[in-house]
Amino acid sequence: MTDSVVQGTCSPLFAQLKSEFEKNFAARGEVGASVCAIVDGDIVVDLYGGTLDTAPASAWQRNTITRVFSCTKGAVAFCLHLLADRGALDFNADVRKYWPEFQKHYQQTIPVWMLLNHQAGLPALRSPVTKNDLFDSATLASRLSTESLFWEPGTSLAYHALTFGVLANELVHRVTGLSVGEFFRREIAAPLDLDFWIGLPASEDRRVAKTLFPAASTPQKTLAADSIAALTKANLGAFLGSLDERETRAAEIPAGGGFGNARSLAAMYAPLSMEGSHAGRQFISPDAVARMAQTTAATGKDQTLGIPTAFSLGFAKSWGVGRMPPGCGYAIGSRAFGHPGMGGSIGFADPSARLAFAYTMNQMNSSPSLDERAQSLIDAAYNALGFSHRNTGAWTGPAR
């Protein structure tokens, strides 16, 4: 594609990022996408381009939004940390303090924090999950409350692809009486004026870019039917088969049902990149931001994704870059935290750089993590800010 297809604004300092964004369209199979970087609370990159689907006439507009899959988990984690910061939720308390029915036959304590860093032992449901089930979080939560644990909580790690959202939503509901989508809209999206939705109103449908699945790749090895990876894939089948249906878009699916663009996703992380403050308002305490950045669980091979993963409480850290083939990990700053989304999107905050960053797109990849499209943009942002290298798997550089 030509330069004219990429629109928006970009500070001269980030010229290389713009060049990489253009290269995504020209050489990396990009169809439609947006990228945004906010430094010290100011937007320094706000670019978009391409098309809503494969039709050339359907140009991606400034206000185009798309499903961002598990980037939604970052929004949900923000909600939980906000409740903890206000004293309404204790991460160290037994989950049953708020949800008495949860695993009531398990004799030991299951602290709230284990539900947030994918160590709870409930990465999947063993029985089928239908489309109707996906729209009924209370029923899924009830099922998880009696599901046999896959391991003793705290002793292993597997990405809770669907169940993280169900568990988090139930906690928010038990504490506030609201769904996580309602709480997010009231306490985060509205005050920050975010164009980000967990449960998309019909009025916004016209702006949504169609989700484009990757082309069929080489056959994957067969998974054991009772493996965590296979069960997770089965749990998500009804969701992935109905992505562009109105009912699915409207559903509050906190693990992967969020809609937005890079501008809105980066804006969500802006206060978290500046010790909780933005536009003259303290959204959350510096201590809470420090907790968000602290790695609490990591593994060399995630039982769900099959790659190295690392998490703080509800957020993802850098995953495996330098230890895995390209496209099977990603690198952000050593103090950064956020969340990638299936297919290749990401949003994160890096307090050491006072950077909030996001990339969203409609052409999904087939890897379990980011690919060169996102990583090239992230690398360009860190280079522009004077960071030195990511040889250890995370960007390191001077603190700002």
Domain at 221, CATH number: 3.40.710.10
Residue at 395 is within a domain: no
Q: What percent of the chain has pLDDT over 90?
A: 88
Say yes or no to pLDDT of 217 above 80.
no
Active-site residue identified among 70, 179, 273, 345: 70
Strands 66-67 and 42-50: unpaired
pLDDT of residue 381: 98
Distance CA 259, CA 266 (A): 13
Look up the domain containing 224 and give its range: 3-314+324-384
- Residue 326 pLDDT level (bands cut at 50, 70, 90): low
Residue at 391 is within a domain: no
Single pTM value for the model: 0.96
Residue at 125 is within a domain: yes
Residue at 142 is within a domain: yes
Side-by-side strand order, sheet with 355-361: 7-10, 42-50, 32-39, 355-361, 345-350, 337-341
Strands 7-10 and 66-67: unpaired
pLDDT of residue 55: 79
If you ran DSSP here, which 8-state letter would residue 187 be given?
I
What size, in residues, is the chain? 400
- Residue 181 pLDDT level (bands cut at 50, 70, 90): very high
- Long-range CB pairs of 85-91, under 8 A, 24+ apart, other chains included: 85/284, 85/285, 85/287, 85/288, 88/175, 88/176, 89/171, 89/175, 91/116, 91/291, 91/313
Q: Is 70 a catalytic residue?
A: yes
Q: Which of 217-221, 229-233, 372-376 has the lowest mean pLDDT?
A: 217-221
- Which whole number is the average pLDDT over 241-251? 94
pLDDT of residue 368: 87
pLDDT of residue 399: 63
Distances (CA, A) of 267 to 66, 137, 166, 325: 16, 28, 25, 31
The rounded mean pLDDT for the chain is 94
Say yes or no to pLDDT of 1 above 50.
no
Residue at 64 is within a domain: yes
In total, how many domains does the chain have?
1
Say yes or no to pLDDT of 132 above 50.
yes
Distance CA 335, CA 273 (A): 10
Residue at 398 is within a domain: no
Distances (CA, A) of 287 to 91, 276, 283: 14, 9, 12
Residue at 394 is within a domain: no
Token pair listed for 150: 């896959």
